Amino acid sequence: MTLTFVDWLVIAAYFALNLAIGVYYASRARGSTTEFFLSGRNVPWWLAGTSMVATTFAADTPLVVTGMVARYGIAGNWLWWNMAASGMLTVFVYARLWRRAGVMTDVEFAELRYAGRPAAFLRGFRALYLGIPINCIIIGWVNLAMMKILQVTLALDAAQALWALLAMLVFTAFYTTLAGLWGVLVTDLVQFVLKMGMVTALAYYAVRATGGLAALEQKVRALDAAAGGGSRLSFFPSSDSAWMPAITLFVYLGVNWWASWYPGAEPGGGGYVAQRIFSARTERDGLLATLWFNIAHYAIRPWPWILTALASLVLYPTLADKESGYVRTLMDPAVFPPALRGVMLAAFAAAYMSTIGTQLNWGASYVVNDCYRRFLRRDAAEREYVVVSQLVTVGLMLVSIYVTLHLASIEQAWKLLIVTGAGTGAVLLLRWFWWRINAWSEVSAMAAAAVVSLYLQLGLRWDSDRPRDFAYIMIVTVAITTVVWIAATFLTRAERDETLIAFYRRVRPQGPGWKPIAAQAGAVAVSGSLRVELLNALLGCIFVYSALFGVGELLLRSVALGCALLALSALAAAAITRTLSS
């Protein structure tokens, strides 16, 4: 791809705007760690929610979706669409609880809910584990994807792409270090508008190049007929699907979304999603931010990617690397206007930087708040904590560079780390609603999940890349882990009454699981109803899935069914609005 002077001017203007935002918010970030990591807990819902959406839109995300659509069709997106149920539980059940907790990070919650050495160990271990290795592996994967994009779009060799990547990484770390979460949030807003605008434009031009939506549908069906496989336009996998047999689909829809821990989709919320909830002005802002995130994430954002993916299959049917089909569409002058290439490259940079900025700030919050402040310097001045936060942000950037350079050697380790989160979700959900759960419940769940899943993969050679093996790994790991943590709960002492009473008064959880503690705590104002919140979560799933498939039907299949699904989505939204307003 040849860039003109105007293209480079657009890219330079984009970077200058991000730098200006960082400089503008620098003075706020220096005030305290609450400002640096949580923006003073004064963020409006629309900004916090948009930041969540921007963070989950990495540079590699459209390429991954293109690869899934090429291999499995539209139904391939169930690999991540299944997490919508977990997201809606976070919106209506857990967002308010997180905001009431008043902690700085989700791992700090351990010493709010529990007490003693087990709680301190749990907090410190999870902070270091999530903040450094897991966080830097995530950054490393995003770095690798961005290097691939730079090589393909700018015709750079590996060394040149690495230097270009390092420049972007250093720039992102600079404004993140300078401005803290305020800088991340506001640049996320700019970056989200830019990248959504450009992926929508690319989808329009890609579909137009195939002859329009009707022609695209016909040509995809013709490709499917020639290949002799299932329809790529189907929203659900067939019952005899090789890539998602019935048992695997059951695990995704019935088990995975609540039982498995995954960065950005933690059962009950966590990670940077929890960080945005903590930063919100009020409980209501936290709830609305998470609701907007889930609507945009599942119902709005996927279709531009999917349409471009389908168009790339029609335009380049013999392309060996299907994921690169997405980049190929923007490089093809017969598809995408050359005048917009500079803006599109800026959009890819925005997708990269929005994810990296969040990961650096979020990871530093764990290291500083839950390790340095908690175990090394408990009573230092706020200015010291802010300086250490800035140094840790730079340190994480350096570690992530090392991880990126050695990523091929740790690919298997990453797969193992992800699957070892299976089985821990139940305790993460129930710790809010059952007083008897203690720190040993969480510790034993983490240990059992790791041991069982590693044994199944390394000892019995079950391969998580094979759909049936993945399903069996999940079922066995969840079953054994659940038995272990429930046994550990009853074989160890309950948390002290004073710890439980203080937690109950502060967070005000609902449900019968707190009845013994509620009796001791006395009169505590508990707003809302757990039953209504669970109903809203169900309505939220109906709303999101109906909107998602309604738009798909309108674009590619049946206008009548699409309108009916959108009407159902509107009814669910009206019901949610009514319960929230009351």
pLDDT tens digit string along 511-562?
889 999 988 887 676 667 888 999 999 999 999 999 999 999 999 888 999 9
Would you say residue 16 lies in a domain?
A: no
Shared domain for 384 and 453, answered yes or no, is: no
Residue 265 lies in a domain: yes
Residues 6+ apart with CB under 8 A from 219: 210, 211, 314
Rounded to the nearest integer, the mean pLDDT of the chain is 90
What sign results for the dihedral spanned by CA atoms 316, 407, 362, 86? positive
What is the Cα gyration radius of the chain? 24
Q: Which residue has the tokens 């999101």?
A: 544
Question: Which of 355, 376, 405 finishes a domain?
Answer: 405
Which whole number is the average pLDDT over 136-141?
A: 87
φ, ψ of residue 244 to 5 degrees: the values are: -145, 80
Q: What is the pLDDT of residue 64?
A: 87
Tens-place pLDDT, residues 72-84:
999 999 989 999 9
> Token pair of 312, please?
């790339």
| Confidence check: pLDDT of 378 > 80 | yes
Q: Could you say which of 405, 426, 456 is where a domain stops?
A: 405
For residues 190 and 283, state if they share a domain.
yes
Do both 401 and 416 map to the same domain? Answer: no
pLDDT beyond 70 at 393: yes
Dihedral of CA atoms 433, 439, 444, 447 in degrees, nearest 10, equals: 110
Q: Do 395 and 452 reside in the same domain of the chain?
A: no
Domain count, the chain: 2
Residue 260: band (very low, low, confident or very high) from pLDDT cuts 50, 70, 90: confident
Quick one: pLDDT at residue 244?
87
Q: Is residue 499 situated within a structural domain?
A: no
346 and 417 share one domain: no
Instruction: Give the pLDDT confidence score for residue 12 in this predicted structure.
Output: 92
Q: What is the pLDDT of residues 285-338, one digit of tens each?
A: 999 999 999 999 999 999 999 999 999 999 999 888 888 889 899 889 999 998
326 and 471 fall within a common domain? no
Contact 517, 435 (CB under 8 A): yes
Specify if 530 maps to a domain. no
In a domain, 313, yes or no: yes
If asked whether residues 430 and 394 sit together in one domain, one would say no
- The model carries a pTM of 0.93
Taking the C-alpha atoms of 77, 185, 187 and 61 in order, what is their torsion angle to the nearest 10 degrees? -10
Residues 87 and 162 in one domain: yes
436 and 389 within one domain: no
Rounded to the nearest 10 degrees, the angle between the axes of helix 283-295 and helix 271-279 is: 140
Q: Domain ends where: 463, 494, 525? A: 494
The domain of 483 spans 410-494
Do both 376 and 456 map to the same domain? no
| CATH code assigned at 170 | 1.20.1730.10
- Lowest-confidence range among 149-158, 368-377, 390-399, 539-548? 149-158
Residue 181 lies in a domain: yes
Residue 83 lies in a domain: yes
Same domain, 253 and 394: yes
Same domain, 193 and 95: yes
Asked whether residue 258 is domain-assigned, the answer is: yes
